[in-house]
Every structure is written in C-alpha cells, then in structure tokens.
A and B are shown apart, each in its own frame.
Chain A
C-alpha cells in the first residue's frame, strides 16, 4: 500500500526522528541479542574492582565489586525497555477504555470517571509510584503496575477529548442511526480515528516510564534480581568522584534511550498529523 511509503516519507523528513529511530533500533537489538554476547550474569564478579574504562578486557571498566559495567548496561537495556513498553501498554489500554467510555457516554458516567481520574492526577506521580512499589515489595510486576497506575490518567484525558469531538461527527451519527451497538461505534468508528494522538502520546510515555523505572531503581526500589541502569547509578553514587565511569555510562544509556524515544515521538507526530506540524514551522 502506498500509505506506508507516504508515512515513511513524512517521518523521514524529520532528521532527528530518523536518528532517534536508529538509536532505538540499536538499543532494542542490544536488549534482544546483548545477553547472548554476555552470557555470564551481570552480577558476577569478573575482575578486579575499580578498573578504569577503555581497557581491552572491560571496555567500560568494572564497579566497586568488580562487576563488568558493559555487561550491566547490556542486561539493563532489557529491563528498561521491557518495563517501559509493558507499563505503557497497560497504561494505554486502561486509559483508552476509561477515556472512551467517558467521552462517548458523557453525562454522569463522564463525571464519575473524570473525578476518579483526577483522584490519581492530584497525587504527585513519582511519590505515588514510590509508595506503591514500597507497599507491594519491589519486583518487576509491581514496578510495571506502579508505573502504569501513575501514567494512565493522561491517556484517559487525551482519549476522552478525542472522543468528545469525534462523537459529534456526522459519520458517528450515521452509525447511531443505522442502529449500531455502542461497542461497534466506539471501537470501529471512533477509535481508529483517534489512534494517531494515542500513538504519539504512547511513544513519549515509554520514555517517561524508563525514567521512572531508573529513578525507582536508583532509590533501591528496583527488582533485586534484575540488573538495571538506575540501580547501577544508585550503587555507584557514593564513589562518583573517584570512579565516574560507574555512573556515567549507565546515565548515558538512559539519556540516549529517552532522547531517542522523544525524537521518534516527535517524528510520529509529524507523520501522523502532517497538517498540524507543517503549520508549526
């Protein structure tokens, strides 16, 4: 279909987005294939502690206990991306359903759902995530759940807004007149027309989720069985003046991944809403 080629043409017009996509593909490849190249556990003490980077055996050095920093980053990529994507997926599903119901039905349902949403929005999201993880004991499942719980209200608001405008469009009214059930109208008629902003918001939300996960791990609230970038920085913070590389390289990994996701999100926005973005510049 020529639609896909058009899409790529508009996406690639944004050079930053292409760079972001390249970085993201690299990070994804690392997450998928990296552990094959570094089969030993990243927790294993493989060398002397405090080894400086750019050494042939340990290109990024070793940490305070002699663990390979590069191996930690490679294994951490898997955790970061997994949590980022799964948490976002859960948040988007919950947000879309609640937002769609609120926007489509309006009235009292809308009022109830939006007050419920505001209840979550009034609590500072990171503090809320910390509390949730602390209560449910840190594990990959509780971290995903906590991030999803603090992220869905934004999606719900966005989807509700889209539904409010699309609901009044004539093709939706035509569907009502044909006697279509609400399920059909919500999922077949309206939702496909609201997908672009949801995708854009979702891609940016993955970046936020990765940051939140890193912050939780930094505070020692990460899954104790999984190596993650945030944990590495947290563990190295006491020696940052003597051994910069232990926190620098994981930090760089976070920076590049989040940057890449933001660039891709912006590119998606340009490609999916061509008219809006063209007016913008």
Chain B
C-alpha cells in the first residue's frame, strides 16, 4: 500500500517522497512507542521483565544456576554479544551437570515473541502451551525481556481484549 501511495504522490508532483518499507510491523517489533487505542493496552513488551538472567554460550552451567537462584529465576536466556537470543535454560536444563558449558545444556532456538503482541493473547498462548515463560525479542532477535505466565495472566485479567491478533500459528 505504501509503495502505491508513494507512486501516487510522485505522480501528483510531490518531489520529496520517502517510503518506510518496514512499516508499522517493523516499528512495533522494535518495541518503539505508538499512539492510538492500543497504546493504552498492555503488551508483551510492557509486561516482560528486563531483569532476566542472561548468559553466554561458553559460561559454566553451575555459575549461571547460582546467579539465577540468587535472583529468584528458574530460567536463563542464552544470548550472543549483541543480545541476540540463541537458546534457553529452563529449570530442567539448569539442573544438569554444573561443569557443562551452557552451549551443551541449552534448549536452542526457542520460540520468541515480539513486544507488540497484546498481553491477553500472550497469556492465552502461555496457558495453552503450558509454558512458564518466553523470551520477548525485537524483530532482529535481540532480547527485550522475559515474559512470565503469572505476570501475563495477571496483566491480561486487568486489561481489555478485542485487539488485532498478532500471533500466527
């Protein structure tokens, strides 16, 4: 639609026409602020916790487990130097042999979700798929935070629904 609008403006004599090809989807996926009715409703990015435990591929599992336990987390997110999500260590993986490298223990390629997904939809997804938490990332895969089911269901109960569906399955 935007390419056609740009072409029409140019045909009408506009000389400084630019197109943001990534559009609203790219903007929302980056967790950028918006205006409008939905901006008042909580989304995954608003509820996700920013203090999630992260670690690198070469970290020792035992060290990550200690850090997670001290901070009250039973999950850790494996990221690279640019904070791109590579894997997850859930409770089961965190309990493996302490001397293992994270790379050997992690669950690779976890499902990630964008910050713009309405919290009600996220809560339903987490309940339906029996997941305690999921990473929220930008469209480039960078970690925004970890969304916990308990937080999502609590926020969904106090919010409203009826917004556009964002998770495709």
Whether chains A and B associate is no
Residues of chain A having any CB pair with chain B under 8 Å:
none
Residues of chain B having any CB pair with chain A under 8 Å:
none
